[in-house]
Structure 1
Amino acid sequence: MVAQVFVGAANIWFELNSWVRVAHLGVATLIWGALVGVVVLDRGLPLAAVDTSLAPETRRSPRTVAADYVEATKPGVMVLLLLTTLAAMVAGAVGLPPLRILFWTLVGGALSAGGAAAINQYVDRDIDAIMTRTRNRPIPAGRVAPVQFAIYGVVLTVLSILVLTAFVSPLVALITLSGNLFYVFVYTLWLKRSTPQNIVIGGAAGSVPPVAGWAAATGGIAAPAILMFWLIFLWTPPHFWALALFKRGDYAAAGVPMMPAVRGDAETRKQILLYSVVMVIASLLFVPFGAAGPLYFVVAGALGGWFIYRAALLYRSHTDHDARKLFFYSIQYLGLVFLALVLDRLIGF
Structure 2
Amino acid sequence: MIETAEGDRLDAKDACGFAETCSALLILAKPGIVAAVTLSGFTGMVVAQRGLPQMETALPCSASLLLMTAGSAIVNNVLDRHLDEQMDRLAPRSAALKRVGSGKVLATAVALIFAAVALASATLNLRVTLLLVAASLSYTLYYTLFLKRHTHWAAVLGGLPGAFPVLIGHAAFQPHPGRASLVLFLIMLIWQPPHFWLLALLHRDEYRAAGVPVLPLIKGERFTRKCIYLGVSCLLPASLLLHLAGICSAGYAAAATLLGCAYLFACHHFMVDNNRAAFRCSIAYLLLLFSMIVIDLTT
TM-score in terms of structure 1 length: 0.82
* Distance of 2:58 and 2:292 partners within structure 1: 18
Aligned to 1:217: 173
Aligned to 2:31: 75
Partner letter of residue 235 of structure 2?
M
Return the offset for 1:246: 1.4
**Which stretches of structure 1, 4 residues or longer, exceed 6 Å deviation after superposition?**
none
Return the offset for 1:116: 0.6
Aligned to 1:95: 51
Identity of aligned residues (%): 29
Partner letter of residue 145 of structure 2?
L
* Distance of 2:244 and 2:13 partners within structure 1: 59
Q: Unaligned 5+ residue runs, structure 1? A: 1-38
Query: Which of residues 332, 337, 340 is equivalent to 2:284?
Result: 332
Name the Cα RMSD after superposition: 1.8
* Distance of 2:218 and 2:270 partners within structure 1: 19
Query: Which of residues 159, 167, 171 is equivalent to 1:203?
Result: 159
Query: Which of residues 139, 142, 148 is equivalent to 1:192?
Result: 148
Q: Is contact 2:263–2:285 with CA below 8 Å preserved after alignment?
A: yes
Instruction: State how many pairs are aligned.
Output: 299
Post-superposition Cα deviations, 1:279-314, rounded to whole Å, max 9, x if no partner, equal 221111111123311232122211111111122335
Partner letter of residue 77 of structure 1?
I
Query: Which of residues 21, 31, 42 is equivalent to 2:3?
Result: 42
Return the offset for 1:128: 1.0
Return the offset for 1:57: 8.0
For 2:242, what is the secondary structure of its paired residue?
coil
Aligned to 1:142: 98
Query: Which of residues 250, 270, 290 is equivalent to 1:294?
Result: 250
Partner letter of residue 329 of structure 1?
C
Bigger relative CO (Cα 8 Å, ≥ 6 apart): 2
Return the offset for 1:59: 2.8
For 2:90, what is the secondary structure of its paired residue?
coil
1:248 paired with 2:204, answer yes
